[in-house]
Structure 1
Amino acid sequence: MTQSKGLVLVVEDERHIADLQRLYLTREGFGVHTESDGMAGLAAVARLRPVAIVLDIGLPGLDGTDFCRRLRAADDWTPVILVTARDEEADRILGLEIGADDYLTKPFSPRELVARLKAVLRRTAGPPGSAILGTGRLRLDPGRRTALRDGEPLELTTTEFNLLAHLLARPGQVFSREQLRAQVWGHADYGDSRVVDVYVSQLRAKLGDASPIRTVRGIGYSAQEPGR
């Protein structure tokens, strides 16, 4: 399966616009999950942990401004690009004041949306490859894409490396299989959760007793120091 740049959540109640956004974002290598109302979109953020949100203001159930307020009130700073049909300065200022990272007015070019999204992700990301990840006898260098166990190189596939790095970057945090599919593979709707189990099994076989991956029954996986 092709590695994605990450999952983008599109919350848009106009189907043709959502489909167009999906088309262009997918072409750029992003996974895309869509929702058509605010409450479902907010639930999807908690469930899938996307890398960014493209959020329409005029949504049924919970509009985009209240959506963004609730997100930021919960201390969730996932990048948000607000989309609206209203081209008024007050709306743009309000969107930015409540915590949106950028703002687009309909109609807009899908290419502009992609460019804005990439710019937002560059701004909100840390320096690439700046931190060496490790626990116990393992060391991963995301910048150089190298992995060591007891100082010896490990041969990991791209997906194995990405999955292990994702867990090691957040030690102790428990991820569901659905979250890992969204965050590592970039595809929330990749239906068979066993794919995560298969990759975890492969990693454990390669890491042996140095593996930090722990199964959390009924939930998913986390990375912890071996022996804990």
Structure 2
Amino acid sequence: MIQSYILAWLDTVISTNFDNTNVHPPLSTAQLQELIRKIHKESQAIEAKLKHRVYAITSEKRIRIFLNNYYHTLEVLHLKVHSYRLTLPDKEKQWLLLLTTLEDTLDKLMQLIQERFENYIHPQKPTLKKQRSSQKVRCNLSTDQAALILRAADESRLLQSKSLRHVFHTITPFLATPTKENLSSDAMRVSAYKAEEKDKDIVVRELQRLIEKVKSY
């Protein structure tokens, strides 16, 4: 029996709204909220279908092929959405929340496969985790201030990654602050969007210090 493509709806949303055009029609608040609601609902359905399909397969080889095919497809869609978000014209910022929601949803689905079916996708991951605790760099900023810098580096394309979530998940385990040894990558990412003015001022001041330091070389 031919199995349906689990990611069909998400793939269609991305290709219909963002492929082959640089101009997007205005999006009302109601339309945006409805699309985001459907994305969250579809994400839950995809999780359930993925698990059901995997548990219905009896061959280890076929499970590996199935998971890697879907993981690769998620990566491709994720890179597309991330690229669209970074190049979105200022006049179309109403689409930003939709792109961010799509990016987070795709990232969570990849994370689900990584964590639940780790041996099929990334068998070497546990070794890396064990090494991280002895490789931390202490950043003399608060968690919120460091988060601002990472967000700015991602959105200015100083750092190029498949998503902002991936930036935080990759870098945060190696960071510590003067008051915190173990940082939460998800908490840092959220705080990057809720910055207080005093944190912005401190980050700007520290970046200016860096500029002066570079000029002195």
Q: Which has the higher helix share?
A: 2
Normalising by structure 2, what TM-score?
0.30
Bigger-Rg structure (1/2): 2
Normalising by structure 1, what TM-score?
0.29
Q: Which has the higher strand share?
A: 1
